[in-house]
Amino acid sequence: MTIIHNLGFPRIGPKRELKYALESFWRGETDTETLTQQARSRFLQNLASQANLDYQPVGDFSLYDHVLDHTLMFNNVPSRFKADANTPLQSYFRMARGRAPHDSPEMQTTAGEMTKWFDTNYHYIVPEFDRDTTFSLNDKPLIKQIHQAREQAFNAKPVLIGPVTYLWLGKVKDDTDPLSLLNALLVQYQQLLENIARCGVEWVQIDEPVLATDLPATWQNAFNVAYQTLSQSRVKLLLTTYFGKLGNNVNLATQLPVAGLHVDAVRGRSDVEAVLRQLPATKVLSLGVIDGRNIWKTDLSATLDFLEPVAAQLNHRLWLAPSCSLLHVPVDLDHETAMDPELKSWLAFATQKLDELGVLSQALKHGRASVADALNKNQCALESRRASDRVHNRCVQQREASINRKDLQRQSEFSQRKAIQQAALKLPLYPTTTIGSFPQTSTIRDLRRQLRQSHIDEHDYRQAIKACIAECIEQQEQLGLDVLAHGEAERNDMVEYFGQLLGGFAFTESGWVQSYGSRCVKPPVIFGDVHRPKAMTVDWTCYAQSLTQKPLKGMLTGPVTMLNWSFVRDDQPHSTTCRQIALAIRDEVLALEQAGIKLIQIDEAALREGLPLRQDEWQKYLRWSVDAFRLAANGVSDTTQIHTHMCYADFNDIIHSIARLDADVISIETSRSEMALLDAFTHFDYPNDIGPGVYDIHSPNIPDTHSIVNLLQKAAEKLPQDQLWVNPDCGLKTRRWEEVIPALKNMVAAARQLRHRA
Ligand code: GLN
Ligand code: ZN
């Protein structure tokens, strides 16, 4: 008998119910009791969606973030949050969101830092440690959820982040070794497991995804210490890893004294053989065979081909699950009422993935014939996807196959281009510009809504957006910026805008995935060969350029960012899909150039985000992703100036690749690091131009001229001044004009001061 279970379910609800509940609480429209009730009902409904499983996860549900829940469970609350007496819920949200300086700046508290959860687009609140860190147990909320689930007859399997991963995820604020905290933390885990055992629970899922990363020997050792200690507990532990191969940690993971092991059998399929060989015969093996990171239907027959021999070998010791928590996929495909039925037939969201699990377990229990219908339907869907000419476009494939080295190469090297561009553009020293977007005002958002609801037609919409662009150009002229942008008024989102105009991309109605807290994103689905039926930005850009004598930058999103912020097809390598997108962007770049646009920016906000978890896979990724950027950008003549932009990132270990992009100008986010991020460029002798961000656009604060001058002076100590541009950290779309105008005024004034001193 094969047990089926789930590692975690999307919390937010099929209609983002939890998001709305949270946001109305934060606005003060609902009280604690209402929010608690709403959360409880969401939690129970999520369990009900998993009723077909043998075990339901409990503890994966969270009001904001499951890592933050652990931080509170172990009372690892940084001292700055302890000061004022709050309700537990208030301090929870204060840690998550901080407190704005509203009327009394001294009351301001900065939220916990947020960072990406492994290689997903989910962000967690980073635990903080220092030499004063102590732990104590506050497990009431979790124990309550276990009781609630059991009262409703769910077979609760509590989910915990394991102690080693919890310590690994944290940030140490002094020189404390995080592993020196392990023993103190283990004491709390022991008590926690005892309290869970008292609830009558049999299995606890203990997540240690760091086992899928490169672990130093001291951390591998920590696993031995931790699980020796936890093996004393009365509950059975399912040590759970995901997001990749165990690789050199197979031995460690299989030998730890726990009752079961879960491995990611999608990304880590190549481990399974070694795991089967090494796993002691007493242990349960849970295979994550359904992809928790993507939205495609599983090939159930192929999966059974793989599973049947394993099931014969392991018998009741084989469990099945998705590869990882389903937090990273949308909730339920049934809510997609407008989607094309053929495309829809190829997809599976969280709910459908659990159904697939049901089919697999039936087939293993009672033979494939017992689920012949389901297997047939599955095969038909896969066959239609394989054969569909909406997926396969011969022209695109041939073009992709015939890309050659020369396509990736600019005509001349940077120093020559720089001289040619300077002669044409005649920009002053410290040229000022922006990252592209300007405030998305309510007028702009209203226009888009009116168009969507057919209250205005396409023509009127375009006229009205043009008026916004004209206003934006007028403002930039008045501010005295040197290189203008059209402002991106026509774009809802930097990936969605292009995806909607490209072939091979599809969009969902409710395919929301949690990004952080109440924030969700709706990633596009790249289902087919990507192509560009018509120009996407040329009209808007040329219109904007026609209004000004100043040079204007065309604005595009790069191929790597489009790929990394989408659900990507699984029937060809990501690198191939990325090159197809790059070809489409290349055509747009050349069309802009032909139309007389002299500067073109190709944003690659997510280039670093796409780095694999394992260092030994970095080079391969960086090679094809940088090549894709080069393919998109480098068809232009020497006179055309290529810009790129990257959001906050550490450049130290990827500076070679940044240089290989060979963009004429790169703008980066540096203001909060006080320009420290520029050091990577200094040490590398990075030759091309750089715009280090001189003010933080995430905050409503208006930077004064003096502080910008200071930052620019710092930059000028690190790099020759004729390499420097002056710009904000990132796009301005989330800010208001009242903030943007004075900030940019000060920025331009600062640049002028430096110019005069030079
Ligand atoms: N051009 C985009 C903007 O200004 C870039 C944003 C980004 O890279 N995150 O909004
Ligand atoms: Zn940015």
Tens digits of per-residue pLDDT, 634-672? Answer: 999 999 999 999 998 889 999 999 999 999 999 999 998
Q: Which two tokens stand for residue 541?
A: 């850009």
- CA-based end-to-end distance of the chain: 78
How far out from the chain centre does Cα 492 lie? 18
> From atom 5 of ligand 1, which residue's Cα is the shortest distance away?
731
CA 481/CA 434 separation, integer angstroms? 8
Contacts of 71 (CB under 8 A, 6+ apart): 77, 95, 112, 125, 127
Q: Is 555 in the pocket of ligand 1 (CB under 6 A)?
A: yes
CA of 233 to the centre of ligand 1 (A): 50
Average pLDDT value for residue range 328-349:
97
Whether residue 706 contacts residue 729, with contact meaning beta carbons closer than 8 Å, is answered with no
Q: Is residue 731 within 6 Å of ligand 1 at its C-beta? A: yes
Mean local confidence (pLDDT), 13-31: 96
Query: What is the length of the chain?
Result: 758
Please check if 558 is assigned to a binding site. Answer: no
- C-alpha of residue 437 to centroid of ligand 1, in Å: 6
Using pLDDT thresholds of 50, 70 and 90, give the confidence band for residue 113: confident
The secondary structure element, H or E, covering residue 237 is strand 236-240
Distance CA(34)–CA(61), nearest Å, equals: 17
What is the position in ligand 1's atom list of the atom closest to the CA of 645? 8
Any ligand 1 atom below 6 A from CB of 605: yes
Q: Is 113 annotated as a binding residue?
A: no
Q: Which of 476, 484, 488, 732 to mutate to test the pocket of ligand 1 (most atoms within 8 A of CB)?
A: 488
Taking CA atoms, 264 is separated from 118, 219, 291, 619, in Å, by: 14, 21, 9, 23
Give 270 or 648, the one with higher predicted confidence. 270
Cβ neighbour number for residue 22 with a 10 Å cutoff: 22
Residue with the smallest CA separation from ligand 1 atom 1 is: 436
Neighbours of 7 (CB within 10 A): 25
Smallest Cα–Cα separation from 330: which of 347, 307, 309, 312? 347
Q: Which residue(s) pair with 553 in the sheet? A: 485, 599
Question: How far is Cα 199 from Cα 570, in angstroms, rounded to an integer?
Answer: 42
Closest CA to 140 of 97, 94, 197, 192: 192
Q: Whose CA is nearest to atom 9 of ligand 1?
A: 605
> Residues 115, 120, 121, CA angle at the centre, nearest 5°?
65
Q: Label residue 87 by pLDDT band (50, 70, 90).
A: confident
Pocket test for ligand 1, best of 440, 645, 695, 727 (most atoms within 8 A of CB): 645
Average pLDDT, the chain: 96
Q: Whose CA is nearest to atom 4 of ligand 1?
A: 731
Hey, which of 121, 435, 476, 665 would you mutate to test ligand 1's pocket, going by the most ligand atoms within 8 Å of its Cβ?
Answer: 435
What CA–CA distance (Å, rounded) separates 487 from 547? Answer: 13
Percent of the chain beyond pLDDT 90? 93
For the question of residue 698 being annotated catalytic, the response is yes
437 CB within 6 A, ligand 1 = yes
647 among annotated binding-site residues: yes
Reported as a single tens digit per residue, the pLDDT across 444-492 is 999 999 999 999 999 999 999 999 999 999 999 999 999 999 999 999 9
Task: Determine the pLDDT at residue 740.
Answer: 98
pLDDT value at 356 more than 70: yes
Q: Whose CA is nearest to atom 6 of ligand 1?
A: 731
Closest protein CA for atom 7 of ligand 1? 605
pLDDT score for 102: 53
Task: State the alpha helices, DSSP H only, in 98-216.
Answer: 140-151, 163-169, 182-198
Q: Is 199 annotated as a binding residue?
A: no
DSSP letter at 59? S
d(CA 542, CA 595): 7
Of all protein residues, the one whose alpha carbon is nearest to atom 3 of ligand 1 is 731
* Band of pLDDT at residue 80, cut at 50, 70 and 90: confident
Please say whether the beta carbons of 201 and 149 come within 8 A.
no
Q: Ligand 1 within 6 A of 730 CB?
A: yes
Mean pLDDT, rounded, for 502-523:
96
pLDDT for 104 beyond 60: no
Give the model's confidence band at 103: pLDDT under 50 very low, under 70 low, under 90 confident, else very high: very low
Structure tokens given for 578: 């990325």
Ligand-binding annotation for 436, yes or no, is yes
19 belongs to an annotated ligand binding site: yes
Confidence of residue 101 (pLDDT cuts 50, 70, 90): low
Q: Is 504 annotated as a binding residue?
A: no
Q: Is 296 annotated as a binding residue?
A: no
435 Cα to the center of ligand 2, angstroms: 7
Query: CB–CB of 744/684 below 8 Å?
Result: no
Exposure b/e, 288-327, CB count within 10 A at least 16 = b: bbbbbbbbbbbbbeebbeebeebbeebeebbbbbbbbbbb
Q: Which of 459, 698, 706, 756 is catalytic?
A: 698
Ligand nearest to the CA of 733: 1
Angle between helix 88-97 and helix 66-73 axes, rounded to 10 deg: 130
Q: Decide whether any atom of ligand 1 lies within 6 Å of the 733 Cβ.
A: yes
- Residue 73 is encoded by which pair of tokens? 């469970």
Residue type, 73: M
Q: Order across the sheet with 665-668: list the strands.
A: 484-485, 552-557, 599-603, 641-646, 665-668, 689-692
Q: Is the CB of 494 under 6 A from ligand 1?
A: yes
CA of 515 to the centre of ligand 1 (A): 18
Whose structure tokens read 């077909």? 52
Tokens of 123: 């962000």
> Which string of DSSP letters, residue by residue, matches 294-327?
--BPP-HHHHHHHHHHHHHHHGGGEEEEESS-GG
Tell me the pLDDT tens digit for each residue of 667-719.
999 998 899 999 999 999 999 999 999 999 988 899 999 999 999 999 999 99
What is the whole-number distance in angstroms between the Cα of residue 730 and the centre of ligand 1?
6
Q: Which residue in 686, 683, 753, 695 sits closest to 723, CA to CA?
A: 686
CA pair distance 238, 564, nearest whole angstrom: 31
- Nearest alpha carbon to residue 755 among 727, 713, 717, 719: 713
84 marked among binding-site residues: no
Pairing of strands 525-531, 503-506: antiparallel
Query: Does the beta carbon of 647 sit less than 6 angstroms from any atom of ligand 1?
Result: yes
Q: Which ligand is nearest to the CA of 693?
A: 2
Rounded CA-CA distance 639/601 in Å is: 14
Q: Which of 431, 15, 59 is nearest to 240 (CA)?
A: 59
Residue to probe by mutation, ligand 1, list 599, 730, 735, most atoms within 8 Å of CB:
730
- Centre of ligand 2 to C-alpha 433, Å, is 14
Q: Take residue 518 and report the two structure tokens written for it.
A: 């109440």
| Class of residue 575 by CB neighbours under 10 A (exposed 0-12, middle 13-18, buried 19+) | middle
| 665/107: higher pLDDT | 665
Ligand 1 mean position to 735 CA, how many Å?
Answer: 13
Whether the per-residue pLDDT at 242 is higher than 90: the answer is yes
Residue 692 CA to ligand 2 centre (angstroms): 11
- Residue % of the chain over a pLDDT of 70: 98
Amino acid at 755: R
What are the φ and ψ backbone dihedral angles of 77, each rounded to 5 degrees? -90, 120
Tokens of 566: 């989408």
pLDDT for residue 82:
77
CA 632 to chain centre: 23
Residues 6+ apart with CB under 8 A from 373: none
- Give the three-class secondary structure for 201: coil
Is 489 touching ligand 1 by the criterion CB < 6 Å? no
Angle, nearest 10°, between helix axes 737-757 and 705-718? 50
Residue nearest to atom 10 of ligand 1 (CA): 731
Cα(523)–Cα(577) distance, integer angstroms: 16
Indicate whether 425 pLDDT > 70: yes
- Among 90-94, 558-562, 633-637, whose mean pLDDT is lowest? 90-94
Helix pair 618-633, 574-594: axis angle to 10 deg: 20
Separation of 414 CA from ligand 2 center, angstroms?
24
Of 1, 4, 55, nearest to 314 by C-alpha is 1
Look at the block and give the residue holding tokens 């896979």: 617
What would the mean pLDDT of 324-339 be, rounded to a whole number?
97
Instruction: Count how many Cα atoms sit within 13 Å of the Cα of residue 610 in the half-sphere of its side chain.
Output: 26
Is the dihedral angle over the CA atoms 469, 472, 474, 476 positive or is it negative?
A: negative
In ligand 1, the atom with minimum distance to the C-alpha of 494 is: 2
Residues forming beta bridges with residue 666, ordered by sequence position: 644, 690
